[in-house]
Amino acid sequence: MCDSNLIAPCGMNCGICYAFLREKNKCPGCNFFDSEKPVSIAGCKIRNCEKIKNKKIKFCFECDNFPCKQLKNLDKRYQTKYNMSEIKNLKTIRDKGLDTFLKDQKIRWKCKKCSGIICVHKNKCLNCSSSDL
């Protein structure tokens, strides 16, 4: 859940994403993209940004256009539906470093009941189904 390779360019922690956590048709995470990966990665406008595709930047906060329209739209949806902000995540990584961000993520998304992982999209632990967050 708290592997630096699982932090997408947009600031999403793929380790708490339902597509990554599910058993069937498991997504490898946004940073492990190739043409045979899930459609959600292939069609992602942020993942397909030229600066990211060409590895000129690793995270969106490194871009002169941060936060761009696509990131703002994604952030608004995630704040509304899942109580999480990619822009806030990126600012934490930028300002406090990736290690601090990963430590915070480990605490925030750890189930209080069984220590499993809380899925951001289901808003519950996928191990014990607890929604006591």
pLDDT tens sequence across 32-81: 766 665 556 666 788 778 888 778 889 999 999 999 999 999 999 999 99
Average pLDDT, integer, range 85-104: 97
Q: Rounded to an integer, what distance in angstroms lies between the CA atom of residue 51 and that of residue 127?
A: 37
The amino acid at residue 127 is N
Strands (E), 6-121: 118-119
Q: Is residue 111 part of a domain?
A: yes
Q: Is residue 49 part of a domain?
A: yes
Count the neighbouring beta carbons within 10 Å of the beta carbon of residue 111: 20
How many domains does the chain divide into?
A: 1
Residue 14 tokens, joined: 């793929």
Q: Is residue 132 part of a domain?
A: no
Q: Is residue 130 part of a domain?
A: no
Residue 94: predicted pLDDT: 97
pTM: predicted TM-score of the whole model, two decimal places = 0.88
The residue segments making up the domain with residue 13 are 4-125
